[in-house]
Structure 1
Amino acid sequence: MVSTKLPRQVDQSRIKLLAFGFTHSVHDHCLFYKISAGRFLALVVYVDDVLLSGSHEEDIAALKLYLDQFFTIKDLGFAKYFLGIELARGSHGLYLNQRKYVLDILTDVGMLDCKPASTPLPTGLKLVAKGGVPLPSPDRYKRLICCLFYLNMTRPDITYNVHHLSRFINAPTSLHWDVALHALRYLKGSPSTGLFYPSSGSFSLEAFSDADWGACQDTMRSLTGYCFFFGGCLVAWKTKKQNSIATSTAEVKYIAAGSCCAQVLWMRQQLRDYEVEEKEIPIMCDNTSAIAITQNPMLHSRTKHIDVRYHFIRDHVEKKDITLEYISTDKQLADIFTKPLCESRFEELKHELGLIELS
Structure 2
Amino acid sequence: MDKNKSRLVALERKQKYGQDYAETFYPVAKMTTFRTILAVAAMQDWYVFQMDVTNAFLHGDLYEDVYMKLPQGYTGIGSRIKLNDDDDCVVPQKVVCKLKKSMYGLKQAPRQWFAKLLETLFRFSYNRSKSDYSLFTKTNGQEITLILLYVDDLMICSTNQTEIATLKEMLSKSFHMKYLGELSYFLGLEVFRSSSGFFVSQRKYALDLLNEHQMVDVKPVQLPMESNLKLTTDKGELLPSPTPYQRLLGRLIYMSITRPNISFIVQPLSQFMHQPMSVHMQAAKRLLRYIAGTVNQGILLASTSAATLTAYCDSDWTGCPISRRSTSDYCIFLGKSPVSWKAKKQSVVARSSAEYRAMALTSCEVTWLTYLLKDLGLSSLPPAVLKCDNQVALYCC
Smaller-chain TM-score bracket: 0.7 to 0.9
Instruction: Give % identity.
Output: 35
Match for 2:349: what amino acid?
Answer: I
Residue 272 of structure 2 aligns to a residue whose secondary structure is coil
Residue 147 of structure 2 aligns to a residue whose secondary structure is strand
Q: Say whether residues 1:268 and 2:370 are aligned partners.
A: yes
User: What corresponds to 2:389 in structure 1?
Assistant: 286
After TM superposition, the score normalised by the length of structure 2 is 0.72
Listed as ranges, the matches of 1:2-41 within 5 Å are: 2-6=49-53, 7-8=56-57, 9-41=113-145
Displacement of 1:238 in angstroms is: 0.3
Listed as ranges, the matches of 1:240-251 within 5 Å are: 240-248=344-352, 251=353
Among 235, 253, 263, the residue aligned to 1:149 = 253
Give the distance between the partners of 1:183 and 1:237, measured in 2 at CA: 19
Match for 1:213: what amino acid?
Answer: W
After TM superposition, the score normalised by the length of structure 1 is 0.79
Q: Say whether residues 1:254 and 2:301 are aligned partners.
A: no
Give the distance between the partners of 1:81 and 1:270, measured in 2 at CA: 24
Q: Could you list the per-position Cα deviations for residues 265-307 of structure 1 after superposition, in whole angstroms to 9, with x for gaps in the alignment?
A: 111111121232335322111111111112xxxxxxxxxxxxx
**More deviation in 104-113 or 151-160?**
104-113
Q: Say whether residues 1:232 and 2:336 are aligned partners.
A: yes
Match for 2:148: what amino acid?
Answer: V
Displacement of 1:145 in angstroms is: 0.2
Listed as ranges, the matches of 1:124-163 within 5 Å are: 124-163=228-267
Give the distance between the partners of 1:287 and 1:54, measured in 2 at CA: 42
Give the distance between the partners of 2:286 and 2:376, measured in 1 at CA: 42
Q: Say whether residues 1:213 and 2:213 are aligned partners.
A: no
- Whichever of the two has the greater Rg, that structure is 2
Residue 218 of structure 1 aligns to a residue whose secondary structure is coil
Query: Stretches of 4+ moved more than 3 A in 1?
Result: none
Give the distance between the partners of 2:220 and 2:355, measured in 1 at CA: 34
**More deviation in 272-281 or 211-220?**
272-281
User: What corresponds to 1:302 in structure 2?
Assistant: none
Q: Could you list the per-position Cα deviations for residues 242-264 of structure 1 after superposition, in whole angstroms to 9, with x for gaps in the alignment?
A: 1111112xx11111111111111
Residue 149 of structure 1 aligns to a residue whose secondary structure is helix
Residue 219 of structure 2 aligns to a residue whose secondary structure is coil
Residue 96 of structure 1 aligns to a residue whose secondary structure is strand
Q: Say whether residues 1:61 and 2:182 are aligned partners.
A: no
User: What corresponds to 2:212 in structure 1?
Assistant: 108
Displacement of 1:29 in angstroms is: 1.0
Decide whether the 8 Å contact of 2:126 with 2:136 is kept in 1: yes
Give the distance between the partners of 2:329 and 2:163, measured in 1 at CA: 39
Q: Say whether residues 1:122 and 2:226 are aligned partners.
A: yes
Residue 167 of structure 1 aligns to a residue whose secondary structure is helix
Give the distance between the partners of 1:72 and 1:180, measured in 2 at CA: 42
User: What corresponds to 2:202 in structure 1?
Assistant: 98
User: What corresponds to 2:184 in structure 1?
Assistant: 80
User: What corresponds to 2:15 in structure 1?
Assistant: none
Match for 1:243: what amino acid?
Answer: S
Listed as ranges, the matches of 1:284-323 within 5 Å are: 284-294=387-397
Match for 1:162: what amino acid?
Answer: V
Residue 127 of structure 1 aligns to a residue whose secondary structure is coil
Displacement of 1:92 in angstroms is: 2.0
Q: Could you list the per-position Cα deviations for residues 93-117 of structure 1 after superposition, in whole angstroms to 9, with x for gaps in the alignment?
A: 1100000100111111221222111
Q: Could you list the per-position Cα deviations for residues 57-85 of structure 1 after superposition, in whole angstroms to 9, with x for gaps in the alignment?
A: 11111111111111121001111111000
Decide whether the 8 Å contact of 2:199 with 2:299 is kept in 1: yes
CA RMSD of aligned residues (A): 1.2
Q: Could you list the per-position Cα deviations for residues 195-217 of structure 1 after superposition, in whole angstroms to 9, with x for gaps in the alignment?
A: 11122321111211111101001
Match for 1:123: what amino acid?
Answer: S
Give the distance between the partners of 1:19 and 1:273, measured in 2 at CA: 19
Structure 1 portions without partners, runs of 5+: 295-359
Displacement of 1:164 in angstroms is: 1.5
Match for 2:355: what amino acid?
Answer: K
Residue 94 of structure 1 aligns to a residue whose secondary structure is strand
Give the distance between the partners of 2:276 and 2:240, measured in 1 at CA: 9
Decide whether the 8 Å contact of 2:308 with 2:382 is kept in 1: no
Q: Could you list the per-position Cα deviations for residues 7-63 of structure 1 after superposition, in whole angstroms to 9, with x for gaps in the alignment?
A: 233212111111212110111011111121101111111111111111121111111
Displacement of 1:235 in angstroms is: 0.2
Give the distance between the partners of 1:92 and 1:288, measured in 2 at CA: 37
